[in-house]
Amino acid sequence: MAPETHAAITGAELYHKLSVLGQYDYDRAACDRYASIIAEIERLKAQRRAVVLAHNYQRPEIFEVADFIGDSLELARKAKEVRDAEIIVFCGVHFMAETAKVFNPDRKVLLPDLKAGCSLADSVTAEALAQRKAELKQIYPDLKVISYVNCTADVKALSDACCTSANAAKVVNAIDSGHILFVPDQNLANYVQTQTGKQIISWDGNCYVHHQITAAEVEKVKRGLPGVKVLAHPECRSDVLGIADAVLSTSAMVRYAQESGATEFLIVTECGLSDRLLLEIPGKHFYKACKLCRYMKMITLEGTLDSLRHLRYEIELSEDVREGARQALERMLELSA
């Protein structure tokens, strides 16, 4: 992947495109303003040889300047493939920008807002993990630590392998141990336990966005929309997953919705994914769980422009943490290949 310039979009075109989305205030004046910011971002991207990577949960107007949109595994791979760019602007949260830095030590990796963190990543520190790992190794000498990519680089560096929601079961089944300490998401750990004969020891963490979704809410929508296909993210509670038609990562949801003969879907994950589906798959209906991640939404078009203008905020990692995290991420890519 190399820097590329997108064709300019007018305010009228942007308004036509975004006004189908309900929850944001996309009037003509806002779309005119966004169109001029988008043009300036594109100009600066070309001037600075920068690429923009955006997570599926970003604001819809951010998708307009993204060179690639995807889930964490796809973004990890894309970050690794960046060749000709000098700068990566990461429109996502802090741990994702760290992953881009892990694979691109010689490039400047920028996160437009340093407050864009993650409740899940915050639930495990390297110190707490090191202590728990040492305790469990006394009981299970073959113990391996698998960390979901939604954690900090220093936690990844203490892990035998990373995983994403798309490949977690595959990585657990492929690693050479029968006892797995799985951090930090308890819901994903519980889901993986249903996919493996190995013993999973879970960490007590969760994503506040997915953990607040209840089975009762999903049942209510199902009753109102008979035949709707329910697609749920594995960070949801097990009773929510139990009533879903499919349990999928965000990018697998995109493929499922494109390929399925069904026309109505309830998307049980952060609302940004439903926005992407609405924009990319016209003619099908996507109902939202109406849960927004406050951290993902801290990234704005204005902040992205300032990031490129002032080259801020740069992600930096010590070499031992970067190398440890790189090994755990490479192991994930090998085990899930």
As measured in angstroms, the least distance from the Cβ of 95 to ligand SF4 is 8
- The DSSP 8-state label assigned to residue 5 in this structure reads P
As measured in angstroms, the least distance from the Cβ of 119 to ligand SF4 is 4
Residue 153 binds to ligand SF4 (criterion: CB under 6 A): no
Residue 120 binds to ligand SF4 (criterion: CB under 6 A): yes
* Among positions 111, 181, 207, 328, the unique one binding ligand SF4 when judged by CB under 6 A: 207
Residue 196 binds to ligand SF4 (criterion: CB under 6 A): no
What token pair was written down for 205?
């963490």
Nearer to ligand SF4, 207 or 317 (CB): 207
* Among positions 209, 266, 328, 332, the unique one binding ligand SF4 when judged by CB under 6 A: 209
- By the 8 A CB rule, do 166 and 251 touch? yes
Helix 94-103 vs helix 72-81: crossing angle, to nearest 10: 30
Residue 296 binds to ligand SF4 (criterion: CB under 6 A): yes
* Among positions 118, 151, 299, 325, the unique one binding ligand SF4 when judged by CB under 6 A: 118
As measured in angstroms, the least distance from the Cβ of 57 to ligand SF4 is 6
Report how many residues bind ligand SF4 under the rule CB under 6 A.
13
Helix, coil or strand: residue 137: helix
User: In 3D, which of 97, 93, 68 has the Cα closest to residue 81?
Assistant: 68
Residue 111 binds to ligand SF4 (criterion: CB under 6 A): no
As measured in angstroms, the least distance from the Cβ of 150 to ligand SF4 is 5
Distance in angstroms (rounded) separating the CA atoms of residues 320 and 303:
31
As measured in angstroms, the least distance from the Cβ of 291 to ligand SF4 is 8
* Among positions 208, 222, 297, 314, the unique one binding ligand SF4 when judged by CB under 6 A: 208
Residue 54 binds to ligand SF4 (criterion: CB under 6 A): no
- By the 8 A CB rule, do 207 and 172 touch? no
What token pair was written down for 159?
């892990």
Residue type, 2: A
- The DSSP 8-state label assigned to residue 213 in this structure reads -
> Pairing between strand 229-232 and 199-202?
unpaired
Residue 93 binds to ligand SF4 (criterion: CB under 6 A): yes
Residue 119 binds to ligand SF4 (criterion: CB under 6 A): yes
Distance in angstroms (rounded) separating the CA atoms of residues 258 and 169:
24
Helix, coil or strand: residue 202: strand
Nearer to ligand SF4, 161 or 209 (CB): 209
User: In 3D, which of 61, 57, 47 has the Cα closest to residue 93?
Assistant: 57
Q: Which residues bind ligand SF4 (CB under 6 A)?
A: 57, 93, 118-120, 150, 207-209, 270, 293, 295-296
